[in-house]
Amino acid sequence: MSESASAEQSRFVLQTVGFDARFPNTNQTRNCFQNYTDYFRCITAKGEDFAPCKQFKKAYHSLCPNEWIAKWDEQRENGTFPASLEP
């Protein structure tokens, strides 16, 4: 059962963001925030379809609580996001 099930599971891959030497400590708050801002800087510079930007998006989705992402998205829309998103 499990073999056939795993075969049809191919749309899910057990993979996540790796270790980041900039954030070696238990505190990962900055890791999440950095990837979030990097993503929006990246798409401002290169456009939303630029494939390497996707890595930042994957990373911040894996690291940031959904509530935080929602709050920051809202702040970006209102122009109150507390960091520059210019590349």
Partner 1 sequence: MALFISNFNSIFNDAAEPWQLGFQDTAAPGFTGLVTLHNTIGFYLIVISFAVFWVIFSIAYYYNSNNHPIALKYLTHGTVIELIWTISPAFILIAIAFPSFRLLYLMDEVISPTLTIKVVGHQWYWSYEYSDFVTDQGESIDFDSYMIPESDLELGQFRLLDVDNKLIIPVDCHIRLIVTGADVIHSYAVPSLGLKLDCVPGRLNQVSFLAERPGTFYGQCSEICGVWHGFMPIVVEAVSSPDFLVWIDSASQ
Between 6 and 44, CB nearer to partner 1: 6
Between 53 and 63, CB nearer to partner 1: 63
Burial of 41 (0-12, 13-18, 19+ CB in 10 A): middle
Between 26 and 84, CB nearer to partner 1: 26
Rounded to 10°, the helix 53-63/29-46 angle is 150
Interface contacts to partner 1, rule CB under 8 A = 2-3, 5-6, 9, 12, 14-19, 26-29, 31-32, 58, 61-67
